[in-house]
């Protein structure tokens, strides 16, 4: 972590793709063991921000510090070592269709540890039990509903017991009841395991359930940050309108 106990810090981060500025001098801190939810209209840089935190993108300027390590100054192997402390739940769960659900969860353990196979299987089973899929180890991903695939993706993201969990659109493609169940799982992960969450979502009810701090990105800049109640009183009309919607932008 950084010296003051902040596990994630973006320090004047800017990113451009051609002539398009996607992140513009972004400064953010994500507190340990808390949930930061990133909001904003489509194309405002939310997913790009996540990819900077996990080291999949490098900023054009500024610094990205994760667990005290400045990713902009690290070699590729060193970034990979930091990345093992970060779980990533992709929008579509990104399961390997040719592997069973259990083998999907076991994949990071087989790749990044030297644990014996029985221990790997036991840990994968524990993570599936955590997300309510204890009986689904041998199923193929194609046999799962959208909500179950999202749960399996969360189990895989948690396989290495990461200190940080990044989640891209946890409600995408899910009905309201299933979406709320996924939200409740993320809150449990934060509260019971002390995991630092960074969540990107368009779903305002979901953001309210999950987030300790909401961050509103607009045209690549942090326009507002604070609790849901604070954003509802924002001087910026677009922020208030976004918070008043069910699924903004």
Segment 205-221, tens digit of pLDDT? 999 999 999 999 999 99
DSSP string, 211-236: -SEEEEEETTEEEEEE-HHHHHT-S-
Given this model, what pLDDT does residue 4 score? 56
Given this model, what pLDDT does residue 49 score? 95
Q: Chain-wide mean pLDDT for the chain? A: 91
**Quick one: average pLDDT of 97-125?**
95
Homologous superfamily of 1-85+162-249: P-loop containing nucleotide triphosphate hydrolases (3.40.50.300)
Reply yes or no on whether the pLDDT at 102 is more than 90: yes
Reply yes or no on whether the pLDDT at 186 is more than 70: yes
Length of the chain (residues): 249
The domain segmentation of the chain, as residue ranges, is: 1-85+162-249, 97-160
178-185: list long-range contacts, CB under 8 Å, 24+ apart.
178/145, 178/146, 178/147, 178/150, 179/203, 179/205, 179/206, 180/205, 180/206, 180/209, 181/147, 182/147, 182/150, 182/151, 182/154, 183/209, 183/210, 184/209, 185/131, 185/132, 185/151, 185/154
Reply yes or no on whether the pLDDT at 111 is more than 50: yes
**Quick one: average pLDDT of 50-78?**
94
Q: What is the pTM of this model?
A: 0.90
Given this model, what pLDDT does residue 174 score? 84
Given this model, what pLDDT does residue 133 score? 93
Which band of pLDDT confidence, cut at 50, 70 and 90, is reported for residue 42?
A: confident
Spatial separation of the C-alpha atoms in residues 109 and 188, rounded to whole Å: 22
Reply yes or no on whether the pLDDT at 53 is more than 90: yes
Given this model, what pLDDT does residue 246 score? 63
**Quick one: average pLDDT of 160-174?**
90
């Amino acid at each position: 972590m950084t010296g003051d106990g902040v596990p994630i810090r973006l320090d004047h981060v800017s990113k451009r793709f051609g002539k398009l500025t996607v992140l513009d001098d972004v400064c953010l801190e994500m507190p340990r063991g808390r949930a930061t939810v990133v909001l904003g209209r489509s194309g405002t840089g939310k997913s790009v921000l996540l990819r900077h935190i996990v080291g999949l993108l490098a900023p054009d300027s500024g610094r990205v510090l994760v667990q005290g390590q400045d990713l902009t100054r690290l070699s590729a192997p060193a970034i990979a070592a930091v990345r093992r402390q970060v779980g990533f739940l992709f929008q579509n769960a990104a399961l390997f269709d040719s592997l069973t659900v259990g083998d999907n969860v076991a994949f990071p353990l087989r790749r990044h540890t030297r644990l014996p196979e029985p221990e790997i299987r036991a840990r994968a089973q524990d993570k599936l039990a955590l997300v309510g899929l204890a009986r689904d180890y041998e199923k193929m991903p194609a046999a799962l509903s959208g909500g179950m695939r999202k749960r399996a993706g969360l189990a895989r993201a948690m396989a290495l017991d990461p200190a940080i969990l990044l989640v891209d659109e946890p409600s995408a493609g899910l009905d309201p009841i299933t979406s709320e169940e996924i939200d409740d799982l993320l809150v449990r992960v934060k509260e019971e395991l002390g995991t630092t969450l960074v969540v990107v979502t368009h779903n305002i009810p979901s953001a309210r359930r999950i987030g300790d701090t909401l961050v509103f990105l607009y045209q690549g800049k942090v326009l507002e940050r604070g609790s849901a109640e604070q954003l509802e009183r924002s001087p910026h009309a677009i922020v208030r309108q976004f918070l008043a919607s069910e699924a903004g932008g």
